[in-house]
Amino acid sequence: MKTHLICAGWIASLVLAFGAHAQTSSGTPAADEAALRDADAQWSKAASVKDLDAVVSFYSDDATVMPPNETIVVDRAGIRALWKSLLETPGLTLSWKATKAEVSRSGDLGYISGTYEMTTNGASKDRGKYLEVWEKVADGKRKCAADMFSSDLAFPAASDQKK
């Protein structure tokens, strides 16, 4: 009987220890989700005013960006060059809005999916969807670790003319 009590005590201690470790979020799931949505909204605002430094600051140091019809970008210099080129597009207006956000139980990882709209020179309009994976970094801030977006518009048909 005494052995059973000791075993039960050890099991209870392990369950409590691992349970407490697994839920180390900074707040409630709703608060973590709201913080993630807020970070994404601030990022969209920085892009809409073409603040290159602010836009790039939302990425983690080892982030990956997967733009449509381009090669994958895996370093900060490449990410900066990608955004610089985009933000310098004449007549650019760009915004995005999260439609879904989820955060892990620990609060360390989360993802956002949503839609974007982009116009250039008032004539060319694009709309599409995006998916971002966010991580909490050492200073407690949330940074985008992976960013992927694609257009909802049909890919232009190849010309029927022979060259």
Q: Does residue 57 sit within a domain?
A: yes
Q: Does residue 127 sit within a domain?
A: yes
Q: Does residue 11 sit within a domain?
A: no
Tens of pLDDT, residues 144-163: 999 999 999 987 776 644 54
Domain span holding position 36:
28-151
CB atoms closer than 10 angstroms to residue 129: 15
Q: Does residue 86 sit within a domain?
A: yes
Residue 117 sits in a domain whose CATH number is: 3.10.450.50
Task: Provide the pLDDT confidence category of residue 124 given band limits of 50, 70 and 90.
Answer: confident
Q: Does residue 115 sit within a domain?
A: yes
Tens of pLDDT, residues 94-123: 999 999 999 999 999 999 999 999 999 877
| Distance between CA atoms of residues 46 and 86, nearest Å | 13
17 pLDDT more than 80: no
| Distance between CA atoms of residues 123 and 120, nearest Å | 6
Query: Regarding predicted confidence, which is higher, 19 or 137?
Result: 137
Count of domains observed in the chain: 1
Q: Does residue 5 sit within a domain?
A: no
